[in-house]
Amino acid sequence: MISNDMNLFMIFLSACIINNILLIRFIALCSFFGLSNETETALGMGMAVIFVMIMSSSVTWIFFHYFLEPFNLLFLRTTVFILVIATLVQLEEMYIRKNLPVLYRSLGIYLPLITTNCAVLAAAFLGIDYKLSFVKNVVYSLGVSCGYTLSIVLLSTLRERMRTAPIPKYFLGYPIAFFTASLMSLALLGFSHLFGL
Amino acid sequence: MKEFWNAFTNGIWKENPLLVIILGLCPTLAVSGSANDAFGMSLALAFVLIFSNIFISFIRKWVPNDLRIPLFIIVISTFVTIIDYSMNAFQPELYKNLGVFVPLIVVNCIILGRAEAYAYKNTVMNSLADGLGMSIGYMLVITFIGIVREISGNGTLTLLNHQLLYLGDSYRPALIMIMPPGAFLVMGSLFAFKKWLNARKERS
Amino acid sequence: MNEFTRKTIKFGLLLFGFCIVGAGLLSWVNTVTMKQIEINRLAEENRKRQQVLPLALEERFQEKIIDGNKYFLGYNGNGEYVGAVLNVESRGYNGPINITIGINPDGKVNGIAISKLDQGETPGLGLKITTRKFQEQFSGKDETELRLKKDDGKIDAITAATISSQAVVRAVRDGIVSYKKQIMEKI
């Protein structure tokens, strides 16, 4: 559980490890299994998520607190957030392609995928639900996206190793990836209630 | 009529959204710790899927191709907010258990996927059949996972807010099954089972 | 007007139209459901007050706030004081737990109520604080007995959920102590 009276480090730790968005909260699993075949892809996606998530949760925070809340339009939250995120991803893609070709070559193909990545929207929702201040919200989304990158990269390295392992025929592919994720999630559960979080 | 029937059965088994297309995993794993929550989640998803399918195929002739994705998103998010608020008002306990996964239906790949791949190209009736079939296919799988996890992990079974089964105090539940690792375990086994089934079918 | 401007205007109008229709629909849903949510909340609070202090009549409750503690003083049909209801909040394993305590005039617990909506504890473990079996233990206890058995009290903790049990016990004990200080000594 995260609240606004926690300090920045605790928020980061809780978002990144203890409430890991993939393995404990089960958000954005499609990309978790879909893009973890190779470490390079996983790392690229992770970086793109860090970049987009920090931007979008800041922008949605501002939208929520300076536009939706004062005008009593809370019921438009879902619609506004998803439209803001989709537009933002488009703008970022255009900007990066024009001005940062090197970055575009490594992240470009992942950016469109992020529009439908639930982690970005979920971080925006949760940051608001936890009533975080602006700075804490940024740190929270940094923690969430680092946790995302950490677990997806770890799973991809494990899956690369498993290619040479003798796996039962019917467990190849998705089933064994799920069992691996199960063990990773079990390991992360060991951190629960660390420092009373 | 035949087409209607085909579209309907397609989603239940041949193109089951969870087992075959593998979309919409997040809520499946997150809320299937109890059969009641799992069933409630699938009802919420069914509502959004069926109505967005009908509505999108109804307006498909007036929607310009370049503008379809933003319009789909507006339509879907409107339906999601309706179910979000209605659940909060009429099923507060279920709403609390499902938490952030209700508004997250908006990015559930099944709904946008069906809008794009089916409803945008087919008639209203067929889109309704497709939505119904997909919803039932999803419902069967997620409720099955919920039943397995709840019985093994908590020793109870609750459906439609009624307790159907209680294994008693002497039963020591395997708590891991209702915690996050258990979700991955059950889902992984289900995928392996489906693979075995497919292989057996091919052989015969 | 060239092709491009026409297209832009058409798209803009379409998007705008969809947004307006969607927003109108949602604002209607919002008004309807908000009323229902408020009705549910009041009904739930009433039900919990009745559960923890059955002797008091619902329409005779008097609200009293002392130092941030919200008491409902209960009276029966003859106007006699039969006890108070106090709402307290405690920090559990996964977040806040809201507890409704019914207190007898002599400062002992009459009953407590925690519904599933009041907490966010782990299913299978801490969630058991919402069971009748756990809550019934509190009836008739005073502040010296309101401790877990391992701390020489009389309350059985839930197996493998000591933090959730501890949170409830501590909050109820604190509630009783402040009731004695804030209400009992003044009547």
Segments making up each domain of chain C, as ranges: 53-186
Q: Is residue A112 included in any domain, yes or no?
A: yes
Distance CA B109, CA B100 (A): 16
Taking CA–CA distances from C16, the nearest residue in chain B reads B71
From the list A1, A75, A76, the residue facing C94 with the nearest CB is A1
> Do A183 and B181 lie within an 8 Å CB cutoff?
yes
For the record, the structure tokens of C61 come out as: 């409750």
The amino acid sitting at B46 is A
For residue B199, give its domain range: 2-203
Residue B50, pLDDT score: 93
Residue B40 and residue B130 in contact, taking contact as beta carbons nearer than 8 Å: no
- Indicate the pLDDT class of residue B51, thresholds 50, 70 and 90: very high
For the record, the structure tokens of B198 come out as: 């497919």
pLDDT tens digit sequence for C132-162: 888 888 888 887 887 888 878 788 888 778 8
Residue B146 and residue B38 in contact, taking contact as beta carbons nearer than 8 Å: yes
Q: Is residue A154 included in any domain, yes or no?
A: yes
Residue B101 and residue B38 in contact, taking contact as beta carbons nearer than 8 Å: no
pLDDT tens digit sequence for A104-119: 776 666 777 776 678 8
C27 touches A: beta carbon within 8 Å: yes
Instruction: Residue C89: name the closest of C114, C66, C54 by CA.
Output: C114
Residue B37 and residue B160 in contact, taking contact as beta carbons nearer than 8 Å: no
A76 touches C: beta carbon within 8 Å: yes
Number of structural domains in chain A: 1
Q: Is residue A120 included in any domain, yes or no?
A: yes
Number of structural domains in chain B: 1
**How much of chain B exceeds pLDDT 70, in percent?**
100
Taking CA–CA distances from C31, the nearest residue in chain B reads B85
Distance CA B159, CA C137 (A): 29
For residue A163, give its domain range: 44-188
Q: Kindly list the distances between the CA atom of residue A74 and the CA atoms of A63, A137, B35, B85, C27, in Å, as whole numbers in the listed order.
A: 11, 19, 31, 11, 9
A71 touches C: beta carbon within 8 Å: no
> Do C33 and B85 lie within an 8 Å CB cutoff?
yes
For the record, the structure tokens of A53 come out as: 């998530």
pLDDT tens digit sequence for C69-120: 788 888 887 878 888 888 888 887 777 888 888 888 888 888 888 888 888 7
ipTM of model:
0.85
Q: Is residue A143 included in any domain, yes or no?
A: yes
Residue C98 pairs in a beta bridge with C89
Residue A59, pLDDT score: 92
Which residues in chain C touch residue B66, judged by CB atoms under 8 angstroms apart? 11
